[in-house]
Homo-oligomer: A and B are copies of this chain.
Amino acid sequence: MSEDDRAIARERVIESMEQSAEVYGLSRSAGRIYGVLYFSEEPLSIPELVDETGYAKSTISNVTRTLTRIGMIYRRSSEGGGRRVQYTAEREVWFILQDVFQQYVQREIQTTLRTVQRAQAQLPDDSKNETERIEELRETYEDLQEIVTLASEFTAAELRDALESYDR
């Protein structure tokens, strides 16, 4: 098993992370930067990330900021006392997915639900077309909110177990 083979396998997985990043609304560079940090043994600084990824310093700076904001990587204010900033990856993918879920899906469901509830409050229940539709929407979104809220409190294993053991 050569070092080359390991590097190739690593590269494939990182490419896959670039792909996934796009699916989750991030840039390819974000996927690569995360991937490099994911496989790195030690924390990396911005210049080191420039070397590893080939991206410009400014790109690294901007992308690390957003990755830090959404909790995919962590920023440590240097450990040698120097000015260098160090980054490490959150390696629990499940945590990351929960965060993305929370920030995008859950938020979207909540605002939609609020809009629907407000719209419904201003309408009478005279079963006109709009009124019925809005009622249906509200019910669905209340279910959704409950599901997402519960799911975000589970670990992946618990969630899997809950679904596998559920008897209809």
Q: Chain A: residues with CB nearer than 8 A to chain B?
A: 1, 5-6, 8-10, 12-13, 15-17, 19-20, 23, 25, 38-39, 41, 91-94, 97, 104-105, 108, 111-112, 115-116, 118-120, 122-124, 126, 128-131, 133-134, 136-137, 140-141, 143-144, 146-147, 150-151, 154, 156-166, 168
Least distance between A141 CB and chain B CB atoms (Å): 8
**Bound-complex Cα distance A159 to B97 (A):** 19
Q: Decide yes or no: A12 and B130 within 8 Å by CB, A150-B164, A162-B163, A163-B151 being known contacts.
A: no
Quickly give the copy total for this chain. 2
Asked whether B158 lies within 8 Å of A126 as measured between CB atoms, the reply is no
**Chain B contacts for A140, CB-based, 8 A:** 92-94, 156
Asked whether A159 lies within 8 Å of B147 as measured between CB atoms, the reply is yes
**Bound-complex Cα distance A41 to B116 (A):** 19
**Chain B contacts for A150, CB-based, 8 A:** 160, 163-164
Asked whether A143 lies within 8 Å of B119 as measured between CB atoms, the reply is no
**Bound-complex Cα distance A82 to B77 (A):** 70
**Bound-complex Cα distance A9 to B9 (A):** 54
Asked whether B156 lies within 8 Å of A6 as measured between CB atoms, the reply is no
**Chain B contacts for A41, CB-based, 8 A:** 129
Partner of A13, one of B91, B119, B146: B119
Least distance between A59 CB and chain B CB atoms (Å): 23
